[in-house]
Amino acid sequence: MLLRFKRLLQRTPFYKVYLLLCKHYRFWVQDKQYPRIYRRAAKKPLQETKVLFLECSRKTLSNSFRVIYRTLETDYDFDLHCHFLLHTTASRRTQRKICRAFVRDLATAKVLFLDEGTDILSHVDLRPETQVVQLWHGCGAFKKFGRSVAEKRFGASADYMDTHPFHKHYTLVTVSSPDVMWAYEEAMEYPRETGVVQPTGVSRTDVFFDPAFLKRAEETLYQTVPQAKDKRVLLYAPTFRGEIMDAYAPDVLDFEALKSALGDGWVLLCKHHPHVKHRPQIPASCRDFAFDVTDSMTIEDLLCVADVCVSDYSSLVFEYALFQKPMLFLAYDLDDYFDYRGFYYDYHDLAPGPIVRDTAGVIDFVAHLDTRFDPARVQAFRRKFMASCDGHATQRILQRVFGEALDAHRKNA
């Protein structure tokens, strides 16, 4: 009954007026209230050991933060604070409360780490002593974002980006290779001479060079999917479609055809984007072959154990290139996706594996790996897009951020 009433209400002119008023009130809060809170709190002295981590959507720290957070927590005596804005799940009132607390805490922080853009920072003028480090949540340079998508279907208007610059205040942006610096400089509007975008490597990739982590990933696979023992793993990890608030997963993979073609030597693991709330269902007849591990295994674990990766437009293929294993691209909607968002490189030149449009193309490649997989193509892809990822990115980032003070804050053994 309440749902029906809500739908009827949404069709009235009054609801549109209500939404407009909410929008103006939100901008008023951001433009007036947050700067006032920050200025008042910034009258207090800067806390040299205070380090903030800002997570915009999730309820826990994402994998982009975990290596740096764990290193600072274990090896150093910094005062670590985490803030979770819950952009896609919390009510407006809760979000405003969270944002006010974050802005107040930020006013006396020495360093802020974040891994995506947020307009909260665009409304306050930070004190010059505070460093803002953008770790970003992906490697390489695949789908366009930021200023690169102004006026596109995926992006906002240029006027909105001018008045609410998501990527304001950064002192360091970490990227995976010198060859991709230009894309981030364009998207975040930092000219090369500023030196803000740096090819330090991406912190989250350090785990892929840790033998103990690789071993644990294998153990996690067998605990989660016992059927994978002594079988090869086909990973299907597509990105989402649509807008973030109503993201949906592609539903073009024919599970029964894959099971029939690949036989008993393979298992299929499906990992959907975290924005997707309703995932394609695996048929009952295929549940001894295909498994949805979105909630039970991390993407890092899956990249470690996969023998072949099937994706589309996700940046995870850059990280998977570190393993120099076969990958292919199920890009059934390539033309539409290009119009919707666009790419920094020509998609056909970029992809280090076959581009297919349907399940038959996936089966053909996997069934003929010996002749279809080109290791040299993946190696060249890795050199171009992941050259700075060598297992030591986290230490380079911390050294750049804290300088000589880093050793002064090291805990005694």
Q: What separation in angstroms does the CA of 180 have from each of 210, 266, 337?
A: 25, 35, 21
| pLDDT above 90 coverage of the chain, percent | 69
For the residues 250-266, what does the mean pLDDT come to?
Answer: 91
Where do you find CATH 3.40.50.12580 in the chain? Answer: 207-385
> Quick one: pLDDT at residue 152?
65
- Residue 9 confidence (pLDDT) above 60: no
Distance of alpha carbon 15 from alpha carbon 367, whole angstroms: 55
Rg of the chain on CA atoms, in Å: 23
pTM: 0.87
Work out the pLDDT band at 255, boundaries 50, 70, 90: very high
> Quick one: pLDDT at residue 337?
75
> Quick one: pLDDT at residue 18?
47
Work out the pLDDT band at 86, boundaries 50, 70, 90: confident
Q: Which pLDDT tens digit goes with each residue over 166-210?
A: 898 999 999 999 999 999 999 999 999 999 999 999 999 999 999
Query: What is the topology classification, in CATH, of domain 207-385?
Result: Rossmann fold (3.40.50)
Would you list the DSSP string of 45-56? Answer: PPEEEEEEEEES
Residue 346 corresponds to which amino acid?
D
Three-state DSSP class for residue 285: helix
Q: Which pLDDT tens digit goes with each residue over 275-295?
A: 777 888 899 999 999 999 999
Torsion (CA) 305, 311, 317, 322 in degrees, nearest 10: 30
For the residues 68-73, what does the mean pLDDT come to?
Answer: 98
Check residues 229 and 93 and name the one with the higher pLDDT.
Answer: 229
> Quick one: pLDDT at residue 57?
84
Work out the pLDDT band at 13, boundaries 50, 70, 90: low
- Residue 109 confidence (pLDDT) above 90: yes
**Angle CA 79–81–86, to nearest 5:** 175
3-state helix, strand, coil in the chain (%, to 5): 50, 15, 35
Distance of alpha carbon 87 from alpha carbon 94, whole angstroms: 10
**Cβ proximity of 45 and 109 under 8 Å:** no
> Quick one: pLDDT at residue 391?
97
Distance of alpha carbon 394 from alpha carbon 398, whole angstroms: 6
Q: What separation in angstroms does the CA of 412 have from each of 395, 403, 407?
A: 18, 19, 10
Q: Which pLDDT tens digit goes with each residue over 43-62?
A: 999 999 999 999 998 889 99
CATH 1.10.3720.10 fits 41-205+392-408, yes or no: no
> Quick one: pLDDT at residue 153?
63
Would you list the DSSP string of 133-200? Answer: EE--S--S--B--GGGGTTSSSS--HHHHHHS-TTTT-SEEE-S-GGGHHHHHHHHT--GGG--EE--
- Residue 322 confidence (pLDDT) above 60: yes
- The single residue listed with the structure tokens 């709190």 is 41
Work out the pLDDT band at 299, boundaries 50, 70, 90: very high
Check residues 224 and 337 and name the one with the higher pLDDT.
Answer: 224
Where do you find CATH 3.40.50.11820 in the chain? Answer: 41-205+392-408
**Cβ proximity of 281 and 249 under 8 Å:** no
Average pLDDT value for the chain: 89
> Quick one: pLDDT at residue 3?
45
Mean pLDDT lowest for which of 61-70, 247-256, 338-347?
A: 338-347
Q: What is the token pair recorded at 33?
A: 């209230």
Q: Which pLDDT tens digit goes with each residue over 326-362?
A: 999 999 888 887 766 788 998 889 999 999 999 999 9
